[in-house]
Amino acid sequence: MKQTKDFLDQMMEYESGELNDQETLNMFSSIVKKGWTYSLQGHYGRTASALIQDGWLDNDGNILKEIRL
């Protein structure tokens, strides 16, 4: 249950613009890995699909590129 609560907190931070790029990529990686991509509201599915198409994530949710700051 704690992981779900932590994830919901992370989603609220994302929606409030509080996550940096790496944290956002990690969150979407988790969404894809857990199979939640299309269970959440449409924005999450579209964003995950875009990250996959742009080569940031693979279809299994693994991060393929490093974010350079």
Asked whether 58 and 33 are in contact (CB, 8 A), the reply is no
Closest CA to 34 of 56, 57, 15: 57
What does the DSSP 8-state code read for residue 19? S
Domains of the chain, by residue range, sit at 2-53
Q: How far apart are the first and last CA of the chain?
A: 33
Indicate the burial class of 29 (C-beta count within 10 angstroms; 0-12, 13-18, 19 or more): buried
Q: Please tell me whether the overall predicted TM-score, pTM, comes out greater than 0.85 for this model.
A: yes
Q: pLDDT of the chain along its 69 residues, tens only?
A: 566 668 889 999 999 999 999 999 999 999 999 998 888 889 999 999 999 999 999 999 999 998 886
Q: Where are the alpha helices (DSSP H) in the chain?
A: 2-15, 21-33, 42-53
